[in-house]
Amino acid sequence: MALLDLPVASALADREVVRADGLRVAMLSVHTSPLAQPGTGDAGGMNVYVRGLARALAGLGAHVEIFTRATASAQPDVHEAGDGVLVRHVLAGPYEGLDKNELPGQLCAFTAGVLRTEASRRPGWYDVVHSHYWLSGQVGWLAADRWDVPLVHSMHTMAKVKNAALAPGDVPEPHGRVVGEEQVVEAADALVASTPDEAAELRDLYGADPSRVHVVAPGADLELFRPLPGPRGADDPALRDRLGLPQGPLVLFVGRVQPLKGPDTLVEAAAELRAQGRPVPWIVVCGGPSGRATAVRELAVLADRLGVGDRVLFRPPVPRTALGDWYRSADVVAMPSHSESFGLVAAEAEACGTPVVATAVGGLRTVVVDEVSGLLVDGHDPRAWAAALDRVLADDVLRARLGEGAAAVGARFGWETAARGMLDVYRDAAKVRRSRVA
C-alpha cells in the first residue's frame, strides 16, 4: 500500500490537524546509532536528530524503525527506544575497528539486512524511507526502489561544503563520497535541508531539483532544554559546585574534539585575552576525541604552549538528561565550527537561555540571531573571537539581554514542529514518486 493510499493522506493536507496514524517509516542511520552518547567518535548532532525526529513522529502516530549498524555483540537485534520507535541493529562487518571511511565496503551487507527485515513482513509494509547521511542514502536508494516507496534524504553534512571550509590540519572528504552524494541527490524524491543556506548548497553545488528540496529545521527537546528560575552562569555557584565546575566567567564548548569544530580557536582566543591583559575566562571543553584519538591531548598541549593551560578544562561527554544543567551553568556557549549544517548545540543552549557565540557559517547563521540570541563572528581570527567573548562576559546587561533573546529564539525549535514539517515532506515525496514511476 503506497503512502498516498493511507488514511493519513487526507490529514496531511491540513497542517493544523496533521496526524501520521498508521504511517510506517523506515529510517536509516548506517554509521552512527541514535542510542550512542553524542560528543565522541562519530556520534554527534545527527544521533540527536534521528532519535528526536523519530520520537516526535511517533508522537503524531507514526511507527518508526531505525536501522543502524551493529557495533557490539551485546546489542539486541531490536531495541525499543520509546512508544512507536524501534532501533534495529544490522550486522554488517566487524563490530569494532571500522573507520567511517571504510563503511562503503559494508553497504551491501547492510542493505541485505534491511531488505531481509522487510521481506519477513507483508508486502508494502513500509510507506517511506528516510535516510540520514550519504551512506544511508545509498542503502535507501535501493530499498525505496525495491519497495516502490518514496525516498526522503537528509544530508546532515556535505563533502563539497566541508572541503571548501577545511580547518587547518583537517583531511578532505574523499572523491568517492562526493560521487555517492551526487547519486543520492539524483535518486531522492525529496531532500531535507535544515536551513535555507543548506537548501541553496544542495541546488548550487549538487544540482538538486529545487522542487524536491525542502527546509525543515531540526528541533531541541524543550522539556530538557529550557530556562529555569533563579541565578544563571557565574551567578549560580551551587550549580557549578554540583557539576564540579569552577566559579567565575565560563565559556562552554560542547561537541566532538576535532578540527572541524574549531575548539583550538577558543584556546587561541584565551591566549589573546591574556596577551592583552584582559580577564581570561574558563574554557570548558565537554566532549571526546573524534577522528584522531589524540585530539584532546593535542588541544591540551596547545593550551599549555600558549600559556593558558591553567584556564582550559576538559570534561567527558555527559548524558543528555544532564546536559541542560551544563548549558545553564555557562555564561556563554561557543561554537567556533568551520562548517555546520545546522548547529543543534546552539539551539539547545539558546533554549536554556544561554547566549551563544558562533562562527558565521552554515546553519549557525540561522540558529544564532546576531545581537539577539548571541554573537556571530566572521572567521577564526583569535583577536575577533577574544573581542566577542570579552564583550559578552564583561557586560552584564548585554549578557542578560542576549540570554532573554536566546530563550525566545530557542523556543522556536521544537521536535513536534519539525515532525509536522517532515510529514509534509513525506506527502510531497509520495507525489514525486508516483509521477516518476507513472
What's the CATH code of the domain at 125? 3.40.50.2000
Q: Is there a domain that residue 227 lies in?
A: no
Same domain flag for 261 and 376 = yes
Domains in the chain: how many in total? 2
Cα distances from 271 to residues 12, 164, 248, 392, in angstroms, run 54, 28, 17, 17
Report the pLDDT value the prediction gives residue 39, as an integer from 0 to 100.
56
Report the pLDDT value the prediction gives residue 232, as an integer from 0 to 100.
86
Same domain flag for 297 and 173 = no
Same domain flag for 297 and 194 = no
**Under-70 pLDDT residues of the chain:** 1-19, 38-44, 438
Q: Produce one character per residue of 375-398: b if its CB has 16 or more CB atoms within 10 Å, e if not.
A: bbbeebebebbbbbbbebbeeeee
Per residue in 12-55, pLDDT (tens digit) is 333 333 467 789 999 999 988 888 776 566 666 788 899 999 99
Same domain flag for 191 and 283 = no
Same domain flag for 144 and 60 = yes
Same domain flag for 243 and 119 = no
Report the pLDDT value the prediction gives residue 16, as an integer from 0 to 100.
36
Helix residue spans in 231-319 (DSSP H): 237-243, 263-275, 295-305
Per residue in 259-298, pLDDT (tens digit) is 989 999 999 999 999 999 999 999 999 998 877 888 999 9
Long-range contacts of 103-106, Cβ-Cβ distance < 8 Å, separation of 24 or more: 103/30, 103/31, 103/69, 103/135, 104/135, 104/138, 104/176, 104/180, 106/69
Q: Is there a domain that residue 429 lies in?
A: yes
Tell which residue, 44, 43, 42, 67, has the closest CA to residue 54. Answer: 67
Tell me the β-bridge partners of 376: 358
**Cα 38 to Cα 36: distance, rounded to the nearest angstrom:** 6
Report the pLDDT value the prediction gives residue 42, as an integer from 0 to 100.
65
Report the pLDDT value the prediction gives residue 10, as an integer from 0 to 100.
33
Q: Is there a domain that residue 34 lies in?
A: yes
| pTM of the complete model | 0.87
Which residues are documented as binding site for Mg(2+)?
327-328, 330, 354
Per residue in 406-438, pLDDT (tens digit) is 999 999 999 999 999 999 999 999 999 988 776
Q: Is there a domain that residue 228 lies in?
A: no
Which residues are documented as binding site for UDP-N-acetyl-alpha-D-glucosamine?
37-38, 45, 256, 261, 318, 340, 348
Q: 313 by DSSP, 3-state: which?
A: strand
Which residues are documented as binding site?
31, 37-38, 42-47, 100, 133, 157, 177, 256, 261, 318, 327-328, 330, 340, 348, 354
Report the pLDDT value the prediction gives residue 289, as an integer from 0 to 100.
86
Which residues are documented as binding site for 1D-myo-inositol 3-phosphate?
31, 42-47, 100, 133, 157, 177
Report the pLDDT value the prediction gives residue 43, as an integer from 0 to 100.
63
**Cα 163 to Cα 167: distance, rounded to the nearest angstrom:** 9
Q: Is there a domain that residue 176 lies in?
A: yes
Tell which residue, 218, 431, 252, has the closest CA to residue 357. Answer: 252
Q: Is there a domain that residue 225 lies in?
A: no
Q: Is there a domain that residue 317 lies in?
A: yes
Q: Residue 78: give the domain boundaries.
A: 3-219+415-437
Same domain flag for 290 and 212 = no
Q: Is there a domain that residue 224 lies in?
A: no
